[in-house]
Amino acid sequence: MDHSTEIREFLRTRRARITPEEAGLTPHPGPRRVPGLRREEVAQLAGVSVDYYVRLERGRTQGVSRTVLDAVARALRLDDAEHSHLFDLAQPTEARPRRKRPLSPQRVHPALYQALDAISTPAMVLGRRMDVLATNRLANALYTDFQARPHAERNFLRYLFLDEAARTLYGEHWNKAAAETVATLHLYAGSHPDDPQLTDLIGELSLHDADFRSMWADHDVRAHATGTKYFHHPLVGDLAFHFVTLDVAGAPDQSLVILTPEPASPSAEALSILASWTGTAAAAAASAPAEDTRDRTG
């Protein structure tokens, strides 16, 4: 990814969403050529010179301090995720320099595979770039059998944007789910700017999907630890799940995502039906000898 472009577009889109009135400023007379705050207004709110802020927005971040970034974050009313993302993009002088070394392959610990199998609701392990490293039986039944896909296609964003079945599964909630997923990828991109596979993924999705191009250009960043997901499954109909995302201790850039329905709800009943059908299919498959093809490298 181009560092200068990323920080320029992130700051530009953040100031575009705040009006002078919302920031407590008196608008300058005359027509405004840009939505939201002008650069000089952000500089005024942050207490820095206009030239300094312009250099920052152009990606010239060498020598920038945490104090200045904190001031810009306050001026632009960044939330915690956006604040962290700005620091990742700008890399202030006090920050520890990054090592530009190849990322090692990700591996899922065998105990985590066993835990996945024991969870009675859909669950999966996501890695860098939202690569799908492991799933349990119910996650496969809900989404798709990621482990049966070619290794390069075991990525949740590729599934969400390039598989028509995903749009059908999410139905009217697809746009919201897709935007949130892109916002999560933006957060990852800020902390992993030298990941070549990330660059390939963004290029592929931008080439093949206009929705992704539009959402990526918004430069929204968001960390989703909990929330609710809605689906319309072709076999069991409407489903609503609470989800929680947990970092996997001792495994950098790995997270465990678990979806659970409300007890005794229609979604719980539908999930039970889906589990029984899936269990029957799994039992039939287990009756025939088969090689374990689960990829544990991620």
Q: What is the dihedral of CA 134, 135, 140, 143, to 10 degrees?
A: -80
Report the alpha-carbon distance of residue 134 to residue 294 in Å, rounded: 8
Distance of CA 298 to the CA centre of its chain: 17
Distance of CA 176 to the CA centre of its chain: 12
The topology (CATH level 3) of 110-286 is Beta-Lactamase (3.30.450)
Has domain 3-90 been given CATH number 2.60.40?
no
Query: What is the pLDDT at residue 178?
Result: 96
Q: How crowded is residue 161: how many other Cβ atoms within 10 Å of its Cβ?
A: 23
Closest CA to 215 of 206, 203, 204, 228: 206
Query: What is the pLDDT at residue 29?
Result: 66
Q: Each residue's pLDDT tens digit in the chain (298 positions)? A: 667 788 888 999 999 988 888 888 876 666 777 788 889 999 999 999 999 999 898 888 888 888 999 999 999 999 888 998 998 888 765 554 555 567 788 999 999 999 999 999 999 999 999 999 999 999 999 999 999 999 889 999 999 999 999 999 999 999 999 999 999 999 999 888 888 899 999 999 999 999 999 999 999 998 888 999 999 999 999 999 999 999 999 898 999 999 999 999 999 999 999 998 876 444 344 344 444 444 444 4
Query: What is the pLDDT at residue 23?
Result: 85
Query: What is the pLDDT at residue 99?
Result: 53
Query: What is the pLDDT at residue 295?
Result: 46
Specify the amino acid at residue 29. Answer: P
Do 208 and 165 touch, CB atoms closer than 8 A?
A: no
In this structure, what token pair is assigned to residue 65? Answer: 């301090």
At 211 the three-state DSSP class reads: helix
Alpha-helical segments (H) within 47-146: 50-57, 66-75, 80-90, 110-118, 137-142
Domain with CATH 1.10.260 in the chain: 3-90
pTM recorded for the entire structure: 0.82
> Distances in Å between the alpha carbon of 230 and those of 97, 108, 213, 227?
41, 28, 24, 10
Residues 6+ apart with CB under 8 A from 236: 270, 271, 273, 274
Do 59 and 7 touch, CB atoms closer than 8 A?
A: yes
Query: What is the pLDDT at residue 152?
Result: 87
Query: What is the pLDDT at residue 1?
Result: 60
Specify the amino acid at residue 220. Answer: D
Closest CA to 129 of 98, 152, 101: 152
Query: What is the pLDDT at residue 100?
Result: 59
Domain with CATH 3.30.450.180 in the chain: 110-286
